[in-house]
């Protein structure tokens, strides 16, 4: 049996050899480090036999795949066992890996809380210290059900009964069958490979995510190759918690949510000021790239959603309304728009277009509503009501490349001005289920790729992840603490113009379908403002800040000087707070610093007499004295929006 390794070398091993046999044939060091294998693209346990000529690679803990397997083993073979040891009678549900960690769902007779995490960790370390081997055995459905029925593991029985198979149920055992769990695997061959971990929190979770089912206890954790990586991650979590936009939003009184409107934002004056500043920034930039701004209805009859295909594919996420029309016997069924694209086609269709009119670039700050499950709502990051910096470009196939180039120029400039110098581009190509001919897909994919290459930008091709109507580019930016956020998108659509009968008259005098490009730079305004708040820890750039300057007096005798400065700043459109309260200057400075006001001017008798200001910038403990005229001239330039 020939085994082909990643370096194209071939090893001849007997049929039925395992991944461990292969590792040992290469060297003792690899055999010691090996934890699993990939056989013809499928991950398998190190003990699984290989019965035919195959391409095989060996997984070690140092790889991303190895880390994922370690986390999975830690969940199913260590956390699950530790909880059952400490809380007898606990039933096991599911325990998958998640981004940077894992969780396990339990049904426990005793309440498990965050206070129990430390003792669970101690028990987990005790289990790991045994260096137990993990053995996999395959069972028939009948035998697997018998094993878990005897253990009263109700949830495992449900999983087995619902599985579309009769044999080869994978059960993993430890310590002479003292502990067993059902799992898709693969797992580590031995617990000694487990690195560093930390349990992070306890939460409630419905079985199968359905509120009609029983509430289970979910224990979360994170795991890494070593203590250094774990510490780095925990520091990042701590920093992220400090930057949480919900916490900062409350401190700065930017917005709030309440039960009467779940997933809908109540913007406060300061928060709405940020929103308006950002909207003006986007609007000015779009005008420079020849977009025409439009406004379309929020409530639209179901007939349009049926024609566009959204009624069949997206109705469960739409807010539906029914009204009795005057002088009509039937109810009219409408929906709050979940997206703007069908309405933009209606604007395009109003009046016949010629090829000379293309491209047509339409933009809208489109207010959309989508039903999101209550458990997924998360501050500004996941809401039910939001506004997009939405845009649609109607063009010919030959214009796709240039429109891609222009959009990337627009996006990269806006991201840079907003403080994001780094972003990644992902090109998602045709999925198996799609509309349009291969010839059209070839042109569209090549046009997007050519545009990126001509701008000399790196990009990643993601095979098969395009939308069913066309290929797309996704733009992923990186924030100040290294987190990635997918915001911008650029999607070529050959489907909707056909469904909604968009046309233009070509050079040949006949009618043709335009290509419709869906594009956004920020995406949801709400989500992007949340990202900005976390990126800057609330300390927004001067032009974006809701309040730019706080004037704080030290003594009442300088109140008139403070008023004079206030008027001068307002005359150049600087947003000012004048603080004449009878409070100590230290108190005033602390209060305005907590509100993240970028610049605080402290005024005393000396400043009034010399017509100067003492300038303190947020994030700095230093105070700089400047003449009033110099300060006015500097801030006039500094506060100017980058898109002005």
Statement to judge: residues 231 and 344 lie in one domain:
no
Give the three-class secondary structure for 332: strand
Residue 101 placed within a domain: yes
Answer yes or no: 518 catalytic. yes
Sequence-ordered list of residues with C-beta below 8 angstroms from that of 109, at least 6 positions apart, any chain: 87, 89, 90
Answer yes or no: 268 catalytic. no
Q: For residue 184, what are its two tokens?
A: 């898709």
Estimate the crossing angle of helix 154-162 against helix 141-150, to 10 degrees.
170
Statement to judge: residues 74 and 217 lie in one domain:
yes
538 Rama class: left (phi>0) / alpha (psi -120 to 50) / beta: left
Structural contact between residues 83 and 104, judged by C-beta atoms closer than 8 angstroms: yes
Structural contact between residues 527 and 381, judged by C-beta atoms closer than 8 angstroms: yes
Give the pTM: 0.82
- Say what the pLDDT of residue 432 is: 86
The alpha carbon dihedral of 236, 484, 536, 634 has a sign of: positive
- Say what the pLDDT of residue 327 is: 61
Statement to judge: residues 190 and 55 lie in one domain:
no
- Say what the pLDDT of residue 366 is: 92
Q: What is the CATH number of the domain that holds 18?
A: 3.10.20.30
Count the Cβ atoms, other than its own, within 10 Å of residue 376.
11
Q: Are strands 504-505 and 549-553 parallel, antiparallel or unpaired?
A: unpaired
Residue 147 placed within a domain: yes
Q: What are phi and psi of 612, to 5 degrees?
A: -120, 175
- Cis, bond preceding 275 (omega within 30 deg of 0): no
- Say what the pLDDT of residue 218 is: 95
How far from each other are the two terminal CA atoms of the chain, in whole angstroms? 69
Q: Find the catalytic residue in 156, 285, 310, 472.
A: 472
Q: For residue 168, what are its two tokens?
A: 């080869």
Sequence-ordered list of residues with C-beta below 8 angstroms from that of 323, at least 6 positions apart, any chain: 331, 332, 334
Q: What is the CATH number of the domain that holds 364?
A: 3.30.930.10
Cα gap 20→364, rounded to integer Å:
59
Looking up tokens 């009769």, which residue turns up? 166
Three-point CA angle 392, 395, 397, nearest 5°: 125
Answer yes or no: 77 catalytic. no
Statement to judge: residues 407 and 461 lie in one domain:
yes
Residue 308 placed within a domain: no
Cα gap 379→157, rounded to integer Å:
37
Answer yes or no: 512 catalytic. no
- Say what the pLDDT of residue 579 is: 96
DSSP at 560: H
Q: Find the catalytic residue in 187, 302, 369, 370.
A: 370
Q: What is the CATH number of the domain that holds 566?
A: 3.40.50.800
CA nearest to 412, candidates 362, 477, 471: 477
515 Rama class: left (phi>0) / alpha (psi -120 to 50) / beta: beta
Mean pLDDT split into 10-residue runs, the chain, 644 residues: 87 90 90 92 92 91 92 92 94 91 93 95 95 92 93 93 87 88 90 94 90 92 94 91 94 95 96 96 96 96 89 86 70 89 95 95 95 88 95 93 93 94 91 81 86 87 86 91 91 88 95 94 96 95 96 96 96 96 94 94 96 93 93 94 82
Half-sphere exposure of 82 (CA within 13 A, CB side): 26
Q: What is the CATH number of the domain that holds 170?
A: 3.30.980.10
Q: Find the catalytic residue in 388, 399, 491, 548.
A: 388
Residue 517 placed within a domain: yes
Q: Find the catalytic residue in 48, 181, 390, 474.
A: 390
- Say what the pLDDT of residue 328 is: 58
> Which of 241, 257, 278 represents a domain boundary (last residue)?
241
- Say what the pLDDT of residue 588 is: 95
Statement to judge: residues 365 and 493 lie in one domain:
yes
Statement to judge: residues 382 and 431 lie in one domain:
yes
Three-point CA angle 85, 77, 228, nearest 5°: 105
Statement to judge: residues 56 and 72 lie in one domain:
no
CA nearest to 70, candidates 43, 42, 110, 105: 43
Residue 207 placed within a domain: yes
Secondary-structure breakdown of the chain: helix, strand, coil percentages, each rounded to the nearest 5? 40, 30, 30
Q: Find the catalytic residue in 392, 430, 519, 596.
A: 392
CA nearest to 490, candidates 442, 399, 428: 428
Cα gap 75→103, rounded to integer Å:
7
Distance of CA 395 to the CA centre of its chain: 30
> Which of 36, 60, 84 represents a domain boundary (last residue)?
60
Statement to judge: residues 471 and 392 lie in one domain:
yes
Statement to judge: residues 487 and 626 lie in one domain:
no
Residue 152 placed within a domain: yes
DSSP at 611: T
Structural contact between residues 592 and 579, judged by C-beta atoms closer than 8 angstroms: yes
Q: In which domain, by residue range, is 17 found? A: 2-60
Residues in the chain: 644
Structural contact between residues 283 and 275, judged by C-beta atoms closer than 8 angstroms: no
Cα gap 138→362, rounded to integer Å:
59
Q: For residue 465, what are its two tokens?
A: 């992840």
Residue 452 placed within a domain: yes
Q: Find the catalytic residue in 183, 341, 343, 395.
A: 341
Q: Give how many domains the chain has, as a whole number.
A: 4
Count the Cβ atoms, other than its own, within 10 Å of residue 543.
18
Statement to judge: residues 20 and 52 lie in one domain:
yes
Cα gap 71→64, rounded to integer Å:
11
Answer yes or no: 417 catalytic. no
Statement to judge: residues 415 and 467 lie in one domain:
yes
Residue 248 placed within a domain: no
Q: Are strands 54-60 and 2-4 parallel, antiparallel or unpaired?
A: parallel
Answer yes or no: 370 catalytic. yes
Statement to judge: residues 100 and 24 lie in one domain:
no
> Which of 473, 505, 533 represents a domain boundary (last residue)?
533
Answer yes or no: 390 catalytic. yes
């Amino acid at each position: 049996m020939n085994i082909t390794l990643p370096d194209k070398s071939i090893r001849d091993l007997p049929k039925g050899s395992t991944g461990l046999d292969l590792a040992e044939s290469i060297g003792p060091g690899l055999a010691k480090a090996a934890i699993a294998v990939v056989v013809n693209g499928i991950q398998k346990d190190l003990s699984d036999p290989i019965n035919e000529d195959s391409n095989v690679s060996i997984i070690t803990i140092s790889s991303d795949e190895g880390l994922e397997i370690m986390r999975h083993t830690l969940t199913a073979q260590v956390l699950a066992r530790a909880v059952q040891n400490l809380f007898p009678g606990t039933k096991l549900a599911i325990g998958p890996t998640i981004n940077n960690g894992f969780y396990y769902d339990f049904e426990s007779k005793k309440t498990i809380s965050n206070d129990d995490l430390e003792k669970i960790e101690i028990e987990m370390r005790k289990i790991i210290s045994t260096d137990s081997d993990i053995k996999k055995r395959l069972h028939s459905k009948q035998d697997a059900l018998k094993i878990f029925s005897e253990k009263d593991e109700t949830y495992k029985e449900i999983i087995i009964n619902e599985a579309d198979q009769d044999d080869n149920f994978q059960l993993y055992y430890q310590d002479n069958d003292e502990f067993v769990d059902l799992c898709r695997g693969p797992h580590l061959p031995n617990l000694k490979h487990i690195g560093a971990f930390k349990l992070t929190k306890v939460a409630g979770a419905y079985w199968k995510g359905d509120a009609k089912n029983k509430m289970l206890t979910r224990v979360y954790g994170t795991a890494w190759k070593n203590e250094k990586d774990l510490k780095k991650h925990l520091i990042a979590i701590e920093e992220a918690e400090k930057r949480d936009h919900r916490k900062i939003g409350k401190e700065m009184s930017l917005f709030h949510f309440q039960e009467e409107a779940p997933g809908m934002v109540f913007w406060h004056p300061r928060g709405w000021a940020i929103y308006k500043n950002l909207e003006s920034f986007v609007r000015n930039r779009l005008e420079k790239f020849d977009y025409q701004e439009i406004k379309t209805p929020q409530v639209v009859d179901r007939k349009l959603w049926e024609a566009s295909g959204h009624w069949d594919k997206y109705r469960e996420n739409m807010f539906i309304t029914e009204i009795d029309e005057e002088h009509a016997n039937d109810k009219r069924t409408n929906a709050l728009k979940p997206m703007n694209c069908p309405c933009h086609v209606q604007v395009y269709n109003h009046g016949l277009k010629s090829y000379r009119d293309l491209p047509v670039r339409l933009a809208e700050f489109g207010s959309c509503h989508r039903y999101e499950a209550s458990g997924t709502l998360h501050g500004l990051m996941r809401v039910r009501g939001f506004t997009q910096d939405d845009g649609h470009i109607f063009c010919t196939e030959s214009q796709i490349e240039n429109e891609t180039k222009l959009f990337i120029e627009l996006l990269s400039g806006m991201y840079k001005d907003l403080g994001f110098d780094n972003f990644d581009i992902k090109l998602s190509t045709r999925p198996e289920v799609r509309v349009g001919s291969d010839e059209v897909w070839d042109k569209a994919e090549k046009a997007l790729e050519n545009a990126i290459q001509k701008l000399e930008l790196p990009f990643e091709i993601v095979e098969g992840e395009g939308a069913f109507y066309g290929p797309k580019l996704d733009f992923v930016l990186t924030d100040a603490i290294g987190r990635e956020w997918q915001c911008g998108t650029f999607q070529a659509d050959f489907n909707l113009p056909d469904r909604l009968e968009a046309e233009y008259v070509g050079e040949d005098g006949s009618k043709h379908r335009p290509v419709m490009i869906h594009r956004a730079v920020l995406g949801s305004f709400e989500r992007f403002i949340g990202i900005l708040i976390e990126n800057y820890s609330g300390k927004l750039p001067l032009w974006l800040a809701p309040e730019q300057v706080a004037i704080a007096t030290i003594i009442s005798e300088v109140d008139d000087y403070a008023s004079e400065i206030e008027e001068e700043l307002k005359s150049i459109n600087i947003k000012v707070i004048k603080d004449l309260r009878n409070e100590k200057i230290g108190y005033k400075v602390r209060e305005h610093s907590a509100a993240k006001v970028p610049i605080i001017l402290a005024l005393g008798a000396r400043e009034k007499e010399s017509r100067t200001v003492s300038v303190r910038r947020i994030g700095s403990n230093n105070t700089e004295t400047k003449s009033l005229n110099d300060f006015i001239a500097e801030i006039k330039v500094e506060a100017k929006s980058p898109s002005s």
